[in-house]
Amino acid sequence: MEHPALRDIAWLLHTPDIVVLPDISGRPSLKALGWADAHALTRWLARQRQGVESFSWRALRHSRMGHYHERLWHYVLDHAPDTRLLATNVRVFQRRNTLGELDILYRTCFDPAPIHLEVAIKFYLGLPDGPGEEASLSRWIGPGGLDSLALKCRHIARHQLPIARTPPARKTLAHWLAPRDSGESLPPIRSQLALPGVLFYPWHARLSPPRGAMTAHRRGLWCYLQDWPTLAAGFPSDTLAAWLEKPHWLAPPALASFQPLHDAISPILDRVMAYSTPQQVMVYHPHNGQTQRIFIVPSGWPRQIPLPPR
């Protein structure tokens, strides 16, 4: 599959959410979207080349990763066999105050009631020491140290998902959705969450998964810059690598983008030192065809750690 957007859609639909939150429904399944199995999805993707070409993906792939991820969901929900996109980024007002925004509204071919879907894509690195106990979500932080899995999950559970059930949200939807889609004569809007991503475990220490982590969540490693030579010494001599420049963090790049490890890694290490920021590298092992994600972080990382939510 050559088109980057199609590779990213395939990655998105095959990537589990990183955690399951209590009393919160997960994303629409492949079956709910209209694909009986992975083979049906593969056939659908093969037919989408012309469709994705009309979406200006080249410009989108240079936008913020979160925005690009949302647009992938828009395309999927509007083109999957059994779903249709109703609205995106619906702002909910009370008087003149904005209460929040609903990421996506869609419906299935079998039920006119709108479904509210919140989407986020996250890449968190686990800290072997504090804050909190070993399984605490607060120990999993973003590469920049500005957010944590704990803060994100709390915001989703306390604000982003409940807002769809409020009277102002119902009033907003009734105002501009078609009567059959407004849901005013139906039960309250059902909310779902899609939270795909990767959890990066420290190479130098043992760390358990965060509480509620999906068993099959995608995993990576992170190591300090000074530990990279030791880590890399354990790789076979034919190992290849590619720099993952944000926002191109979803599907692995095409094989042609990989270079011998020594050639690829030098400029990546230079970026870690020059900018004192974590850099993500994709390592490819030709002997088994497996890829591995690794964040290389500067020696002083993290400079800040978000406080656990109250």
**What are the tens digits of pLDDT across the range 2-53?**
788 899 999 999 999 999 998 889 999 999 999 998 899 999 999 998 777 7
Can you tell me the distance from the alpha carbon of 238 to that of 302, in angstroms, rounded to the nearest whole number?
Answer: 32
pLDDT of residue 230: 97
User: Do 115 and 188 touch, CB atoms closer than 8 A?
Assistant: no
pLDDT at 107 over 80: yes
Between 98 and 156, the higher pLDDT residue: 156
- pLDDT greater than 70 at residue 182: no
**Rounded Cα–Cα distance for residues 230 and 207 (Å):** 20
Q: Return phi, psi of residue 203, to 5°.
A: -75, -30
Is 78 buried (19+), middle (13-18) or exposed (0-12) by CB count in 10 A? middle
What's the confidence (pLDDT) of residue 52? 79
Look up tokens 């809007």; give the residue. Answer: 189
The per-residue pLDDT for range 252-272, each reduced to its tens digit, is 999 999 999 999 999 999 999
Cα distances from 17 to residues 25, 152, 217, 221, 299, in angstroms, run 11, 13, 7, 18, 30
Asked if 201 and 221 count as a contact pair (C-beta separation under 8 A), the reply is yes
Of 65, 35, 31, 296, the closest CA to residue 197 belongs to 65
pLDDT above 80 (res 179): no
pLDDT of residue 176: 62
pLDDT at position 58: 62
Q: Does 172 have pLDDT greater than 90?
A: no
Distance CA 276, CA 112 (A): 51
Q: In the numeric block, which tokens belong to residue 208?
A: 């358990």
pLDDT in tens, 213-252: 999 999 999 999 999 999 999 999 999 999 998 888 999 9
Give the tens place of pLDDT for each residue, 269-310: 999 999 999 999 999 999 999 999 999 999 999 999 998 888
- pLDDT, mean of residues 99-121: 91
- Say what percent of the chain tops pLDDT 90: 71
Q: Look at residue 144 and tell me whether its pLDDT is greater than 70.
A: yes
